[in-house]
């Protein structure tokens, strides 16, 4: 039984249901996280309310700014409070003193400092509130990715997401030519960046770039890109076709052993967001 709590939607996509069930079996320790992700993906599937919040990109953006930089987003305040309240309940956190719209704004901006300040003020556990915030932002960001796909720049040379400014969680090597496509775990956007260039620090000298490859034979589709200049790492996966947006975070969880391998060797994911968005969200 995946849903002990009333009031949370279940996802309808059958393939997604199967992947979620497998993730619950394989990663029982991630039960709470998976429950929140499942809620976020179901909410994202539902869509309608979030589509209305998709903003017009700010005209004064610089060339390197993601589409959502400086955007002004208006949301249905009651719906956002209900949505964040459901997630807080699912995370077994008391949400009475959490400002849901402010949490959503801080999460969209990846501003952990603001989320932590909210947690301290409300007496909520900061790590739990960070995850609730990240998941709360998924339906809005995925609606933005659907609604603004046509406005994305044709070429994008930055390592961070051209829509929401997050670092990629996955590099896909797609098709016969193994083109490198970076994927955002928040909004699902994909963008091509040539091989042999670190997404985090733009290092291009091949002697500073490398791979970790699993010894396990069945894992041949996977590797980890590492950079000796910034010590960043990015998980890679050979794919036939691009993963659906919902599959990216599930894949990230299923390849957590690669994170362990990278961390053990001193590599890490950057703590700071790729681009600080400065989004304002009003109810
Ligand atoms: Zn994104
Ligand atoms: Zn680097």
CA of 136 to the centre of ligand 1 (A): 14
**Cα gap 27→34, rounded to integer Å:** 9
**Cα gap 75→19, rounded to integer Å:** 31
pLDDT of residue 5: 46
Look at the chain and count its residues: 283
Q: Which ligand is nearest to the CA of 200?
A: 2
Per-residue tens of pLDDT for the chain, all 283 residues: 344 444 556 777 888 889 899 998 988 888 889 999 999 999 988 876 899 999 999 998 899 999 999 999 999 999 999 999 999 999 999 888 999 999 999 999 999 999 999 999 999 999 999 999 999 999 999 999 999 999 999 889 999 999 999 999 999 998 778 889 999 999 999 999 988 899 999 999 999 999 998 776 666 789 999 999 999 999 999 998 899 998 999 999 888 999 999 999 999 999 899 999 999 999 9
What are the helix (H) ranges across 149-197? none
Q: Which ligand is nearest to the CA of 270?
A: 2
Domain coordinates in residue numbering, the chain: 14-152+278-282, 170-264
CA of 14 to the centre of ligand 2 (A): 38
CB atoms within 5 A of ion ligand 2 belong to 198, 200-201, 203, 227, 229-230, 232
CA of 4 to the centre of ligand 1 (A): 31
Rg (CA), the chain: 19
The token duo for 60 is 């004064």
pLDDT of residue 6: 42
CA of 163 to the centre of ligand 1 (A): 5
CA of 167 to the centre of ligand 1 (A): 8
Q: Which ligand is nearest to the CA of 267?
A: 2
pLDDT of residue 275: 96
The token duo for 143 is 């609606």
CA of 209 to the centre of ligand 2 (A): 8
CA of 131 to the centre of ligand 1 (A): 16
- Helix axis angle, 77-90 relative to 100-108, nearest 10°? 80
Give SS3 for 3.
coil
The strands making up 233-239's β-sheet, listed across from edge to edge, are: 190-192, 179-183, 170-174, 233-239, 222-227, 209-212
pLDDT of residue 49: 84
Pairing of strands 179-183, 170-174: antiparallel
pLDDT of residue 4: 41
**CA pseudo-torsion sign 229, 225, 250, 175:** positive
User: What's the whole-model pTM score?
Assistant: 0.92
Q: Which ligand is nearest to the CA of 167?
A: 1
Which of these, 60, 78, 77, lies nearest to 69 by C-alpha position? Answer: 60
pLDDT of residue 269: 95
């Amino acid at each position: 039984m995946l849903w002990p709590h009333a009031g949370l939607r279940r996802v309808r996509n059958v393939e997604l249901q199967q992947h979620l069930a497998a993730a619950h079996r394989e990663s029982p320790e991630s039960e709470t996280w998976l429950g929140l992700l499942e809620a976020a993906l179901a909410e994202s599937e539902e869509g309608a309310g979030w589509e209305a919040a998709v903003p017009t990109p700010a005209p004064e953006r610089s060339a390197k700014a993601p589409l959502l930089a400086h955007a002004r987003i208006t949301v249905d305040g009651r719906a956002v409070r209900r949505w964040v309240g459901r997630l807080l309940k699912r995370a077994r956190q008391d949400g009475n003193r959490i400002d849901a719209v402010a949490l959503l704004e801080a999460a969209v901006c990846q501003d952990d400092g603001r989320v932590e300040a909210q947690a301290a003020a409300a007496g909520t556990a900061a790590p739990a509130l960070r995850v609730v915030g990240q998941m709360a932002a998924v339906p809005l960001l995925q609606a933005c990715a659907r609604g603004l796909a046509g406005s994305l720049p044709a070429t994008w040379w930055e390592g961070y997401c051209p829509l929401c400014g997050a670092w990629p969680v996955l590099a896909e090597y797609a098709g016969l030519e193994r083109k490198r496509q970076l994927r955002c775990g928040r909004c699902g956007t994909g963008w091509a960046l040539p091989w042999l260039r670190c997404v985090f620090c733009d290092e291009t000298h091949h002697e500073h770039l490398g791979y970790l490859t699993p010894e396990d034979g069945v894992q041949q589709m996977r590797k980890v890109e590492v950079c000796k200049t910034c010590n960043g790492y990015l998980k890679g996966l050979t794919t036939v076709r691009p993963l659906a947006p919902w599959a990216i975070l599930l894949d990230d969880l299923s390849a957590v052993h690669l994170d362990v391998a990278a961390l053990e060797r001193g590599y890490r994911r950057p703590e700071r967001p790729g681009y600080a968005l400065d989004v304002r969200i009003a109810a």
